[in-house]
Amino acid sequence: MAARTLSRLLSRSLSSSSSSSGASASLLRSPLGRKSEGLINTNRFSTAAAVQELITPQVSINYTQHLINGKFVDAASGKTFPTLDPRTGEVIAHVAEGDAEDINRAVSAAREAFDNGPWPKMSAYERCRILLRFADLVEKHNDEIAALEAWNNGKLYEQAAKAEVPMFVRLFRYYAGWADKIHGLTVPADGDYHVQTLHEPIGVAGQIIPWNFPLLMFAWKVGPALACGNTIVLKTAEQTPLTALLVAKLLHEAGLPPGVLNIVSGYGPTAGASLASHMDVDKLAFTGSTDTGKTVLELAARSNLKPVTLELGGKSPFIVFEEADIDKVVEIAHFALFFNQGQCCCAGSRTFVHERIYDEFLEKSKERALRRVVGDPFKKGVEQGPQIDSKQFEKVLRYIKSGIDSNATLECGGGRLGSKGFFVQPTVFSNVQDDMLIAKDEIFGPVQTILKFKDINEVIRRANATRYGLAAGVFTNNVSTANTLMRALRAGTVWINCFDVFDAAIPFGGYKMSGIGREKGIYSLHNYLQVKAVVSPLNNPAWL
């Protein structure tokens, strides 16, 4: 599969977006069905939503316990916590709440499976076949998994069904292909010695994933770890634990031995901290906020100095030069920021526009935001669902107030939508200055900030003046400008005349405080392997 943009994958399904929806809106295919009361927008700054009835997905929730040693089990304490529907704030299910004892049980199972189980000793080809069977099973259950993902997360059903679950499948097939291609080297050395390197699985991998892309982050973490022959303890985000448990069940149906993948649901300060500081975890991977990443790194260092990879926050510049196609770039900039309700670490959240086209770009961006359809993510034509929970919802509204208080110009949006759930109006600010919080902090919500620049040297300096360095976008028809920016911007990914292009083979990660290490591609395998040098003398060698 060639690399493709998420916007292209979704363009057909969202091309019919309009400002109205309701009882006559088409229902998506099974497993969706029942409708209930919805929301209404009355704010003069936004015309993107209307009265809606919510669709209740017809999905059975069968897995709410921890997965330890191949079995679903209750928390040691017997505690559970509610996981919510972001559209309403109502409880979907109660999930086992993990703590240190549950982490201990999961790590013990993973250690036994690594030290004495079949997975690391299995032929690489057989591991490949299990991962391929798993990908086939996920593909077969595409709609069910997508519906559960959308229900638990608030993301668009069509986004999950047509882009994210297929990308999940693609990632596991990609890593299945790597399983039997991991090998060392024969190294020439001075003297009569035979030198070789072995690439060995690192052991028990602790993994902590976020709530904004639960399935994809599962694939980014679990895929390479399994391909390399490791065993895993995965801590899911407390907001979105359901799909990881469902796909893990399918992975065991595909032939994964017990104890190889263990999943504990729970909170960061308890389950997450216990995993990060566990003395029998050999490697740690975390995706989330930069501040939490600091804590994870500190806990790992203070325990057994386990190696850590971090994929953290971003405040990515989206740079538009005067010769760019304005209509096209306005649409890309809109998607780059508002995709997934703005809950994307690489969102193009600092939109730098050349002063000669700034006014036109701003007016068209405002018009596009006003047309954005916000509502039930299970309905066709809807472009934006709710924020993940009340905490994130309130955080976004605080940043919007900060922007107003700092004298940025609120062009549209700026408030909540409806009286139920966690919906935020698509919001656009102009006259944004670099020292404003909305231009410095990762908002993680549907808030576009549009800044003006004069020349290339200025925008390079301003784009790099951030603690983050995850991604950047550059829009120009000048080859020299593109070549300069791709080298000058201190970011792990630079998209030229495109944005949000993801592929299993393309590495992803950040400079500066956006993280350590890379996800996806061949680089991700390095995170889960130890390199061992083996040296032995040669007596009367035929050649050196």
Whether the Cβ atoms of residue 195 and residue 220 lie closer than 8 Å to each other: no
Cis peptide before 377 (omega within 30 of 0): no
**Level-2 CATH architecture, domain 66-312:** 3-Layer(aba) Sandwich (3.40)
Kindly report the CATH number that applies to the domain delimited by 317-503: 3.40.309.10
Amino acid 100: pLDDT = 98
Question: Do the two domains 66-312 and 317-503 of this chain adopt the same fold?
Answer: no
Amino acid 53: pLDDT = 82
Residue 359: strand pairing partners: none
Instruction: Report which secondary-structure segment, H or E, holds 515.
Output: strand 515-516
Count of other CB atoms within 10 angstroms of residue 362: 22
Amino acid 22: pLDDT = 32
Mean pLDDT over each residue of the chain, to the nearest integer = 92
Find the angle CA(274)-CA(101)-CA(72) to the nearest 5 degrees: 110
Amino acid 42: pLDDT = 44
CA atoms of 251 and 169, how far apart (whole Å): 12
The answer on pLDDT for 15 being more than 70 is no
Amino acid 27: pLDDT = 31
Amino acid 52: pLDDT = 64
CA atoms of 85 and 93, how far apart (whole Å): 9
In sequence order, which residues have a C-beta less than 8 Å from that of residue 517 and are 6 or more positions away?
309, 310, 311, 509, 523, 526, 527
CA atoms of 115 and 132, how far apart (whole Å): 24
Q: Which two tokens stand for residue 142?
A: 């595409």
Q: What is the mean pLDDT of residues 522-542?
A: 96
The answer on pLDDT for 8 being more than 50 is yes
Catalytic residue IDs: 311
For residue range 249-301, list pLDDT tens digits in order. Answer: 999 999 999 999 999 999 999 999 999 999 999 999 999 999 999 999 999 99
Phi-psi region of 92 (alpha: psi -120 to 50; beta: other; left: phi over 0): alpha
The answer on pLDDT for 39 being more than 60 is no
pLDDT band at 46 (very low <50, low <70, confident <90, very high): low
In angstroms, what CA-CA distances link 272 with 234, 238, 421, 528? 9, 10, 27, 20
Amino acid 276: pLDDT = 98
The answer on pLDDT for 7 being more than 90 is no
Q: What is the mean pLDDT of residues 127-145?
A: 98
In angstroms, what CA-CA distances link 372 with 48, 211, 348, 420? 5, 23, 17, 19
Give percent of the chain above pLDDT 70: 90
**DSSP string for 221-290:** HHHHHHHTT-EEEEEE-TT--HHHHHHHHHHHHTTPPTTSEEEEEB-IIIIIHHHHT-TT--EEEEES-H
pLDDT band at 181 (very low <50, low <70, confident <90, very high): very high
The answer on pLDDT for 179 being more than 60 is yes
Q: What is the mean pLDDT of residues 83-103?
A: 97
For residue range 395-445, list pLDDT tens digits in order. Answer: 999 999 999 999 999 999 999 999 899 999 999 999 999 999 999 999 999
* Tokens 């770890």 belong to residue: 225
Amino acid 241: pLDDT = 98
Task: Please give the span between the terminal C-alpha atoms of the chain, in angstroms, as a whole number.
Answer: 43
Q: Where are the domains of the chain?
A: 66-312, 317-503
The answer on pLDDT for 43 being more than 70 is no
